[in-house]
Structure 1
Amino acid sequence: MSLEEADARALQVRALYEQLENRLLGRTWTLPELALGFTNDAAYVGRLVLAAERTWDIDGDVDAELRHKLAECLWWVFVLGDRLGVDVPAAYESTMDKIGGGLERAVRGKSS
């Protein structure tokens, strides 16, 4: 799946959440609520990394939980990007080009 396809799929899933939120809450989550959801899941990745390193105990399959939470974090990035008007696949490509180019110059011993 390409980043563009993943972005589209994330927004399809978000649309389903919005239907549920409207039914249960009478509204959809605000941007700050979405951001809080993301930071909560991202923080839990930290605990899962500790669990993978055997310095933090959790119930369940650590590898499965890591796969799930990392995928959820990616989902949140696409959802937040959509709400903020950021084309995440394009931003990712340009950011990696910039960082990669700087690192390539540094590895070759040239200043960036």
Structure 2
Amino acid sequence: MDQNDFDKMIERSLTIRKKYHELEKQHHGSEWTLEEDTLAYLTDPGLVGRNIMSHQKRWLKKDAALELEHKLGENIWWLIILADRTGINIKEALEKFLTKTENIFQ
């Protein structure tokens, strides 16, 4: 994946989030707060864990492979959304993390 692809994925992620905001306003009268987005995100890493356990045959669940793929993608989506809502450039954050961590191993 090149830089352009990642930019497009970020743009698509933000567009999808705007559509969810529209649904939230329709159903609840307001958009979710940053805290509500964060709580929604926090449920997904646990579901990734359960699906990994199923992948390892330690937790029996039907269609776990498909759900694992979906939840991994959704986790990345949520991180893009949370970065945007907090004013953090997710590409720069990832670059800084990778560089800092690579330097540990040099």
**Could you tell me the TM-score, scaled by structure 2's length?**
0.91
Whole-angstrom CA distance in 1 between matches of 2:95 and 2:65: 28
Whole-angstrom CA distance in 2 between matches of 1:66 and 1:90: 27
Structure 1 unaligned segments of length 5 or more: list them. Answer: 106-112
**Higher radius of gyration, 1 or 2:** 1
Matched-pair identity in %: 33
- For 1:31-70, what aligned pairs fall within 5 Å after superposition? 31-59=34-62, 61-70=63-72
Partner residue of 2:84?
82
Count of matched residue positions in the alignment of Structure 1 and Structure 2: 103
Partner residue of 2:19?
16
Whole-angstrom CA distance in 2 between matches of 1:10 and 1:55: 32
Deviation at residue 35 of structure 1 after TM alignment: 0.6
**Could you tell me the TM-score, scaled by structure 1's length?**
0.87
Whole-angstrom CA distance in 2 between matches of 1:50 and 1:71: 17
Whole-angstrom CA distance in 1 between matches of 2:6 and 2:45: 19
Partner amino acid for 1:55? R
Deviation at residue 75 of structure 1 after TM alignment: 0.5
Partner residue of 1:109?
none
RMSD across aligned C-alpha pairs, in angstroms?
Answer: 1.1
Whole-angstrom CA distance in 1 between matches of 2:40 and 2:72: 13
Whole-angstrom CA distance in 1 between matches of 2:66 and 2:79: 20
Whole-angstrom CA distance in 1 between matches of 2:40 and 2:8: 22
| TM-superposition CA deviations, 1:7-51 (whole Å, max 9, x none) | 111101000001111111110001111111111011110000100
Structure 2 unaligned segments of length 5 or more: list them. Answer: none
| TM-superposition CA deviations, 1:58-108 (whole Å, max 9, x none) | 12x2211111000000000001001111100111011101111221x1xxx
